[in-house]
Amino acid sequence: MADALKDKIADVFDEPACGHNVNKSEQQRKKGCAKPLTPGAAAGGCAFDGAKIVLQPIVDVAHLVHAPLACEGNGWDNRGAASSGSERYRTGFTTDMTELDIVMGYGEKKLFRAIREVIEAEDPPAVFVYSTCVPALIGDDIDAVCKAASDTFGTPCIPVNAPGYVGSKNLGNKLAGEAMLDHVIGTVEPEVTTPYDINIVGDYNLSGELWQVKPLLDRLGIRILGSLSADARYRQVAMMHRAKVTMMVCSKALINVARKLDERYGIPFFEGSFYGISDTSESLRQMCRILVEQGAAAELLDRCEALIAEEEASIWAELEPFRPRVAGRKVLLYTGGHKSWSVVAALQELGMEVIGTSVRKATEEDKGRVVDIMGDDKHMFDNMAPKDMYRLLKDAGADVLMSGGRSQFVALKAKMPWVDVNQEKHEPYAGYMGMVDLLRAIDRAVNNPMWDELRAPAPWDEPLTEGRVLPAHSGACPVTGVSAGMGRPVSLVPPLPPAEVIASAAPDVSGFPSSDTDFEDC
């Protein structure tokens, strides 16, 4: 591993704003927080995946992956981050390194040429160059290539050093943030700044979730100046240093960016969430409070409270019709992080019973809130093996599973409704209006008449009551020409007890020649 990358990793691991890290001893802290991954029992993406997740939603940038085909070929255009502008971010650019490139060390040259070609074809505001395992291993210096390319072509080329083998997706998130801090943030000045400029960090506008919240900000006169990276333009990332406050949406992924924005440019940050009604309100309150502290007019607070009161009242009225359709349903939540508790309150309010919630990736604070909301910690769990979850669902311990895509089939194969609440989902559930969409999704899932049909026994699960005697087959199979009488005589009729002959004229057949042959395939 290159020394620079090593230092970078050590740096992001030693994160003073991270709750985990703060509670560690000096010695533990030195070790970093890389959890060794267990061979044969690891799930989830690599550091490159994490970097890509964070940066790909920057819509007008050309994202160029320096790698053999797997990294981009198997992973492009697989997330639903929505764009209101350029669609360039959905295009898969890769150097598609071949054996010859690797053996002969052509990687850097090929990368440089690829950058030239992508700039000629697309004229993007910037090219993000992602390092991956193979070029990192053979020592391709993407920093040097990017520098040379930036100088030659005049388009910023940003190296993103997060090869897969250095660690988990979460580490990759942070390394991507570092790349922005080192090379992008602070490179462009906005035309004007206002006391109402904010950064939103850690939201990716999946299925348009940012836009469910943006009307609220529009009404308060708050401008999203910087975004990492929901519906973001390159220039918005480059201008982040001029915002007045940073809202951290997914509390762990990009904490290093938020803290360093504070450290370097004096922009305070807070953690918030737009999942759930109370969370949305709380996040708006906090955002306005900090903006006022930073110099915005104090009347913003009053306008914020008025907006919250109006929106909450109207959303509860909109949710009310769902109450009779979902009340009493038992929900198993299997997500993690702040979602462990942020939607629980709203579901409970509508009469649903949350029988359990996973607290994987959740902070101590998150866990505390679960206990607050649910009364005790009996309903908390970290992970549940698919086998156990299948049994729980199959035994109807729950009426619906709300989780990410990976446990989808555990629920479905147990013939249990499932609602996608993770990043791959196709519907946005953010802000106030997103709760209506979420409830609609739950309603649609649990009340689909299909479930009863699917759970009903198959026709052959119940014994035949009507006795029926059929004559043995005669003649030959038209396909094989084998005559039915040959070898072991064939019949589909199992040796049922001699049934009453229903028609008096039925031929007298004694005993049934049986066979394993499927007549359809004979």
CB of residue 505 to another protein, shortest distance in Å: 5
Residues 363, 17 contacting (CB under 8 angstroms): no
Distances (CA, A) of 455 to 413, 417, 442, 447: 11, 12, 19, 14
Note whether 152 binds another protein by CB under 8 A. no
Q: How far is the CB of 54 from another protein (least distance, A)?
A: 19
Q: Which of 266, 386, 405, 507 binds another protein (CB under 8 A)?
A: 507
Given the complex with another protein, which of 84 and 383 has the nearer CB atom?
84
Residue 453 near another protein by CB under 8 A: yes
* C-alpha–C-alpha distance, residues 298 and 289, integer Å: 9
Contact between 448 and another protein by CB under 8 A: the answer reads: yes
Q: Annotate 239-253 with b (16+ C-beta within 10 A) or e (fewer).
A: bbbbbbbbbbbbbbb
Q: Shortest gap between Cβ of 158 and another protein (angstroms)?
A: 14
To the nearest whole angstrom, how small is the minimum distance from the Cβ of residue 501 to another protein?
Answer: 10
Applying CB under 8 A, does 458 fall inside the site for another protein? yes
* Alpha helix ranges (H) inside 107-157: 107-122, 133-138, 142-153
**Is the Cβ–Cβ distance between 160 and 191 less than 8 Å?**
no
Q: Which of 471, 485, 487, 498 binds another protein (CB under 8 A)?
A: 471
Calculated CA dihedral for residues 142, 252, 421, 323, nearest 10 degrees: -160
Dihedral sign (CA 308, 270, 61, 70): negative
Which stretch in 8-16, 209-217, 335-343, 344-352 sits in contact with another protein by CB under 8 A? 209-217
**Residue 473 lies near another protein (rule: CB under 8 A):** yes
Residue 24, by phi and psi: left (phi above 0), alpha (psi -120 to 50) or beta? Answer: beta
- 218: contact with another protein by CB under 8 A: yes
Site for another protein contains 500 (CB under 8 A):
no
Alpha helices, H only, 294-343: 299-319, 323-326, 339-342
Segment contacting another protein by CB under 8 A, of 35-43, 179-187, 368-376, 449-457 = 449-457
Tell me the per-residue interface mask from 396 to 435 with another protein, x by CB under 8 A, - otherwise: ----------------xx-x------------x----x--
The arrangement of strands across the sheet holding 418-420 comes to 380-381, 353-358, 330-334, 400-403, 418-420
Binding site for another protein (CB under 8 A): 60, 82, 84-86, 123-125, 154, 190-191, 207-208, 210-212, 214-215, 218, 223, 231, 233-236, 239, 412-413, 415, 428, 433, 440, 444-445, 447-450, 453-454, 456, 458-460, 463-464, 466-471, 473, 491-494, 496, 499, 503, 505-507, 518-521
